[in-house]
Amino acid sequence: MKHVDVLVRGAGIVGQSLALSLARLGLQIGLCRDEPRAGAAPDVRAYALNAASVALLKSLKVWDALPAHAATPVYDMHVQGDAEGSAIDFSAWEQRAGELAWIVDAPVLERELAAAVRFAPHVQVLSAAQADHVKADLVALCEGKASATRAALGVRFERHDYGHSAIAARLVASRPHLGTARQWFRSPDVLALLPFDAPEPQRSWVLVWSLPRERCAELMALDDAAFAAALNEATRGEAGELSLASPRAEWPLGIAQASAWAGPGWVLLGDAAHLVHPLAGQGLNLGLADVAALSRVIAAREPWRPLADPKLLRRYVRERALPTWAMGRITDGLLHLFAQPAPAARELRNRGLGLVNRLTPLKRWLTARALDS
């Protein structure tokens, strides 16, 4: 039976990043990739990545390989409440940072990671059948939210379903985005426009619109022109006249955390360990932070300590479980706060937005947390 140091199961962005990161430590890695689903529609998403995620991708030599149109910097962010004039603005300049985030094309990032994996000397890509005949000191599960191996290990992943789904699509607008991300809390839906430079440089956006499932189904059933009209009504022309530049895709939304992140010979990372609402754009950032943390813990281990030593894996879990749980609570809390229809709740949340907007130190602190969480 073939032996590797670490078998990474799941070759999404988290799994591929982990394989590259651990290979750089000189470990022999097996990366189990499942068969691509025939006829699967291309992923229309682009991810808001924070500075810590960008730093990891730079260290893996993947960031510089991304074509310019696949990564757009965000300099400002405008978040609109559900009352006239209630808003909060964040800016990179105020934060003395180069940018607040980068919006990165999901399929292009996956493709560049796959290219880097092909050239990585210590990584062997395996089919599921081949992986079953591999012996590994440690198995890292990066299989995403529906991980079958996690379920086979008896780890619970109780998912709270929000009853909402997100519609994602690429858009073009009549006006330039000027590097400003926009978000509308519209009780009960949350609509985000992420500035992007493809297909039209300076005039493209990526839409993430989360809504109650019935409303989502209604919007998905509309033809492109009627959908664009609904979108333009929701954004009130604040981002210019918007039209679709891709098919629409829909994701059901929930929150979950695994009942255990590590056990004898295995460890969980990414969506296999935790699922959060995309309103704060943090799911992948959390997964890449898992990769960075596990790589750090393994790199710093005592030379005699085996890779699956429970003490070693506990160091990783200690570092990651609390911030991940906190991010889940924050997004969940925000969602509930803005879902309340009662006028008093509405008044309170909109006053809160205005107050935070005026409290520059608090705003700076919040932005700093988002930049490197």
Ligand X SMILES: Cc1cc2nc3c(=O)[nH]c(=O)nc-3n(C[C@H](O)[C@H](O)[C@H](O)COP(=O)(O)OP(=O)(O)OC[C@H]3O[C@@H](n4cnc5c(N)ncnc54)[C@H](O)[C@@H]3O)c2cc1C
- Long-range (24+ apart) CB contacts under 8 A made by 229-237 are 231/171, 231/207, 234/184, 234/186, 234/189, 234/191, 234/209, 235/182, 235/184, 235/191, 235/193
Assess 11 for contact with ligand X (CB under 6 A).
yes
Which DSSP category does 270 fall into?
G
Assess 289 for contact with ligand X (CB under 6 A).
no
Pairing of strands 29-32, 2-9: parallel
Amino acid letter for position 1:
M
Min separation Cβ 167 and ligand X, Å: 8
Pairing of strands 2-9, 262-263: unpaired
Separation CA 338–CA 325 (nearest Å)? 20
Find out whether 250 and 165 touch, Cβ atoms under 8 Å: yes
Assess 112 for contact with ligand X (CB under 6 A).
no
**One symbol per residue from 219 to 258: x for binding ligand X (CB under 6 A), - otherwise; what is it?**
--------------------------------x-------
Q: Among 41-49, 212-220, 257-265, 318-326, which window interacts with ligand X (CB under 6 A)? A: 41-49
Assess 207 for contact with ligand X (CB under 6 A).
no
Min separation Cβ 330 and ligand X, Å: 14
User: Is residue 139 within a helix (H) or strand (E), and if so which, with residue range?
Assistant: strand 134-141
Which DSSP category does 177 fall into?
-
Amino acid letter for position 187:
S
Closest CB to ligand X among residues 123, 350: 123
Closest CB to ligand X among residues 30, 270: 270
Q: Among 40-48, 118-126, 256-264, 339-347, which window interacts with ligand X (CB under 6 A)? A: 40-48
**Binding ligand X by CB under 6 A: which of 30, 81, 195, 283?**
283
Which DSSP category does 61 fall into?
T
CA 192 from chain centre, in angstroms, equals 14
Assess 270 for contact with ligand X (CB under 6 A).
yes
Cα distances (angstroms) measured from residue 92 to each of 50, 281, 310, 363? 12, 17, 41, 12
**Binding ligand X by CB under 6 A: which of 22, 29, 32, 70?**
32
Assess 72 for contact with ligand X (CB under 6 A).
no
Find out whether 46 and 109 touch, Cβ atoms under 8 Å: no
Kindly state the number of chain residues that form the binding site for ligand X, as judged by CB under 6 A: 32
**Binding ligand X by CB under 6 A: which of 81, 179, 278, 328?**
278
Min separation Cβ 289 and ligand X, Å: 10
Min separation Cβ 128 and ligand X, Å: 5
CA 19 from chain centre, in angstroms, equals 18
Closest CB to ligand X among residues 14, 123: 14
Closest CB to ligand X among residues 27, 131: 131
In order, the DSSP letters of 336-370 are HHHH--SHHHHHHHHHHHHHHHH-HHHHHHHHHHH
Q: Among 7-15, 89-97, 309-317, 321-329, which window interacts with ligand X (CB under 6 A)? A: 7-15
Separation CA 223–CA 229 (nearest Å)? 10
**Binding ligand X by CB under 6 A: which of 20, 48, 138, 198?**
48
Residue ranges in 132-191 that form contacts with ligand X under rule CB under 6 A? 142-144, 147-149, 166, 168
Min separation Cβ 32 and ligand X, Å: 5
Separation CA 18–CA 11 (nearest Å)? 9
Closest CB to ligand X among residues 10, 81: 10
Assess 5 for contact with ligand X (CB under 6 A).
no
Min separation Cβ 88 and ligand X, Å: 18
Interacting residues with ligand X (CB under 6 A): 9-15, 32, 34, 45, 47-48, 128, 142-144, 147-149, 166, 168, 208, 251, 270-271, 278, 281-285, 287
